[in-house]
Chains A and B, each alone.
Chain A
């Protein structure tokens, strides 16, 4: 089955800095890669996703890049703000297959004011 590794487990940055979280996956058939944000005490919520037919996708201050050859994808947050502090989860799944995501272990991002 699919295996998703996520790094780092904890990331601490100063407000205004950029943050990068990286994930690798094992199943070359995976073609859908979502990112979820979970604020303290809240539910995980989808913030951005990317499909394997594109290499990059942006939404305001967040972007995701995908390298299919190397089987890794990354979340980039620019101009971080304290409200970006949360746990971020990456996932991989196969559209057209089971659709069931395999989640990474999560990255706790702390943005210091």
Chain B
């Protein structure tokens, strides 16, 4: 298994531009999480999905952030318009389903997208 896949790995953009981050979870995982990591705030949970349905988006900073999961193998996190304070590393993670026989609580992180908004 290739693990959780994220793209792009690095993104540099200018303030006001739209940014779209992409994630492909591990096949058979039914939970998907989006995190933001900064030195100041640590690892913050932004939103998570179960079976493609958003369950809790209370961590999304503001309306400029949106996330979708159109199917079990793909999710996006969009920032529009982007601001310098959005600069961070964004991680996607997934967790196994109950039927997989693996520890449901374990989170498998992707390599992250390093975002810099100028």
Contact = CB atoms under 8 A, between A and B. Distances in A.
Given A43-B110, A99-B95, A89 B43 contact: yes
A36 B109 CA distance: 10
Contacts of B34: none
* B-side interface size class: 10 to 19
A35 B73 CA distance: 27
B109 A34 contact: no
Contact of A45 (B45, B48, B104, B109): B109
Interface in B47-95: 48, 56, 91, 95
Interface of A: 32, 34, 36, 42-46, 49, 89, 93, 95, 99-101, 103-106
Interface of B: 31, 33, 42-43, 45, 48, 56, 91, 95, 103-107, 109-112
A101 B108 CA distance: 12
A13 to B, nearest CB: 22
A106 B43 contact: yes
Contacts of B48: 100
A49 B106 contact: yes
A2 to B, nearest CB: 11
B104 A95 contact: yes
Contact of B107 (A101, A105, A106): A101
Nearest to A104: B42
Contacts of B43: 44, 89, 103, 106
A100 B45 CA distance: 10
- Which among B31, B105, B106, B110 has the highest number of chain A CB atoms within 10 Å? B105
Contacts of A93: 105
A44 B91 contact: yes
B32 to A, nearest CB: 12
Contacts of A44: 43, 91, 107, 109
Contacts of B112: 43
A103 B42 contact: yes
B92 to A, nearest CB: 10
Nearest to A97: B105
